[in-house]
Chains A and B, each alone.
Chain A
Amino acid sequence: MISRTVVRLGARSIFGRWRGVLLFVLPVVLVGLAALVRGLAGEDTDATEHVLYGLGLVVVVPLVALLATSGLLAAEIDDGAIAYLLAKPVSRYTIVASKLVVALVCVVAFGAAPMLVAGFVLLPSSPSVAVGFAVAGLLGGTAYCAIFAWLSVLTRHAVVFGLVYLLIWEGLLGGLLDGIRWLSVTRWSAEVVDQIADLELVDDLPITYAIVALVVVMVGGVWLTGRRLQAFNLTGDE
């Protein structure tokens, strides 16, 4: 189900381009800001929530997922190099799943782990907050990867559409309209934090719903992406 060759090529493609640098910058900013806030405000639960939720879960995790996934899929689809993976007797689902394994490692390394570190920097007295945000970062990031994988095979402008979706839907509308919480990856993962750390980031969202929704998005994204890749059109320059 997972091809080690595709994983290896994927890992090299991420760190062989400028995207790799950006992936390092995001967690540095997160942990740096956490240290700054801790230094200025001390151990403060409100400030911790703002940093880990407002910057970590809403900005860093989705961006890591977007950069990793589009670097793994969209770039190769755009320049046509993906043809070399697809012209092989390998299931297209295997190719998608293997690429998402790499994206997942990126989410852990550049999303979830920095959240854990930032959480411990901000609020060492209550480790459940750090753990909660790290788990939420992992689950939310994975769901985002699945969404962006699908976007990558759907459109040539996956990064643009991904950013618009993050800014408008998850960011702007998610903040303005309460009902969006039923259809928002960030709100679902925030509910996971609420459960683990006993916070109140989102109101009135059953944890079961949040978990099921996250899993549905993950599985659905992989399935739709694989299906789309099975019908991949390679056209020449003419």
Chain B
Amino acid sequence: MSEIHIDHVSRWFHNVVAVNDVSMTIGPGVTGLLGPNGAGKSTLIAMMSGFLAPSTGTVTLDGEPLWRNEQVYKKVGLVPEREALYDYLTGRQFVVAMAELHGLADPGSAAQRALSVIEMTEAQDRPISTYSKGMRQRVKMASALVHDPTVLLLDEPFNGMDPRQRIHLMDLLRGMGAEGRTVLFSSHILEEVEQVARQIEVVVSGRHAASGDFGAIRRLMTDRPNRFVLRTADDRLLASVLMGDSSVRGARLRSEGGIEVEASDFGRFSQVLPRLAREHGVRLHEVTPTDESLESVFAYLVAT
């Protein structure tokens, strides 16, 4: 059982702050690191894997520092985001070499075991240069698993995988989490994270925006105020009617026509809106959500 402890960590590059005073503990089980692109997920994983020093704060694995400490790699398996591999080797040669570098007693059979876990035995004797993106991802996975690590860190592991490979990797991660390993992976897709992770840590703009199980995160994300632009036959009438309902927090007539509505309860609002429009004989021409993007969801989380 291993635990990564991040304590008041900040990291800046020149005058750009990539990670801003983040504290979290990653324990056994699967943890999803969720955030939009550029949120600082890779920076956090780099610090958790000993490939970046925090500017301030500490990152430790079971009390030991990760920075300038090669011995931690006995416990840690890392799947980097970047694609580059040793293209001139076959998959098997590569994984065997990784096993040798770990000083394993029987590198050949350790490599074989790792390759069969990720279902790469068929293509293992082909050069890596001929592999598809998904196959490369799996070979990276095998190289990270070959020494049976207690901690597995994966940076955007589902990128480039087809649905079948995705499901297989999800099963694999779930299984490893259930065995009591500490598994952390990053993603910018909520659906991906909530299918696998027991615990979700959300980072936005370098800050730790939310933390909890997927139910809590999902509620945070759907219960936020939603903004819509409505184009109707009678804007003023509908706006005044909507303001009378508890699911609406504000309604504003736009100078260029249409109503801007802020709904506090998305579920209720979606039922109330058509009903009220029908009751008052106002025809709805258009209902457009204005902030559905994940970025705006994250932005909301940061603001609260």
Give Cα A231 to B42, complex, Å: 17
Given contacts A5-B101, A235-B52, contact A91 B89 (CB under 8 A): no
Give Cα A5 to B97, complex, Å: 6
Give Cα A132 to B126, complex, Å: 46
CB neighbours (8 Å) of A80 from chain B are 80, 82, 84
**B42 x A235 contact (CB < 8 A):** yes
Contact with B along A4-43 (1 / 0, CB 8 A): 1110110011001100000000000000000000000000
**A9 x B46 contact (CB < 8 A):** no
CB neighbours (8 Å) of B52 from chain A are 233-235
Given contacts A83-B80, A90-B70, A233-B46, contact A238 B38 (CB under 8 A): yes
CB neighbours (8 Å) of A76 from chain B are 84
Given contacts A91-B70, A236-B155, A238-B37, contact A84 B143 (CB under 8 A): yes
Give Cα A232 to B41, complex, Å: 18
- Interface check A87, CB cutoff 8 A: yes
Give Cα A76 to B89, complex, Å: 14
Given contacts A81-B85, A238-B41, contact A88 B51 (CB under 8 A): no
**A83 x B51 contact (CB < 8 A):** yes
**B103 x A89 contact (CB < 8 A):** yes
Give the shortest distance, in Å, between B107 (CB) and chain A (any CB): 9
**A85 x B101 contact (CB < 8 A):** yes
CB neighbours (8 Å) of A87 from chain B are 49-51, 73, 76, 78
Contact with A along B81-121 (1 / 0, CB 8 A): 11011111100000001101111000000000000000000
**How many A residues, CB 8 Å from partner?**
33
**B74 x A236 contact (CB < 8 A):** no
Offer 6 A-B interface pairs, CB within 8 angstroms, sorted by A.
A3-B101, A84-B86, A231-B67, A235-B51, A236-B46, A238-B43
Give the shortest distance, in Å, between B148 (CB) and chain A (any CB): 13
- Interface check B71, CB cutoff 8 A: yes
Give the shortest distance, in Å, between A150 (CB) and chain B (any CB): 18
- Interface check A86, CB cutoff 8 A: yes
Give the shortest distance, in Å, between B269 (CB) and chain A (any CB): 35
**B80 x A9 contact (CB < 8 A):** no
Give the shortest distance, in Å, between B19 (CB) and chain A (any CB): 12
- Interface check B248, CB cutoff 8 A: no
**A12 x B88 contact (CB < 8 A):** yes
Give Cα A175 to B88, complex, Å: 42
- Interface check B135, CB cutoff 8 A: no
CB neighbours (8 Å) of B80 from chain A are 80, 83, 234, 236
Checking B81, B88, B98, B100 against A236 with a beta-carbon cut-off of 8 angstroms, the contacting residue is: B81
Give Cα A5 to B98, complex, Å: 9
Give Cα A231 to B102, complex, Å: 20
**A84 x B74 contact (CB < 8 A):** no
- Interface check A204, CB cutoff 8 A: no
CB neighbours (8 Å) of B37 from chain A are 238
Give Cα A5 to B68, complex, Å: 22
Given contacts A91-B70, A232-B51, A235-B42, contact A84 B98 (CB under 8 A): yes
- Interface check A92, CB cutoff 8 A: yes
- Interface check B229, CB cutoff 8 A: no
Give the shortest distance, in Å, between B77 (CB) and chain A (any CB): 8
Give the shortest distance, in Å, between B48 (CB) and chain A (any CB): 11
Contact with B along A208-238 (1 / 0, CB 8 A): 0000000000000000000000111111111
CB neighbours (8 Å) of A232 from chain B are 51
CB neighbours (8 Å) of A85 from chain B are 101
Chain B residues 45-65 with CB under 8 Å of chain A are 45-46, 49-53
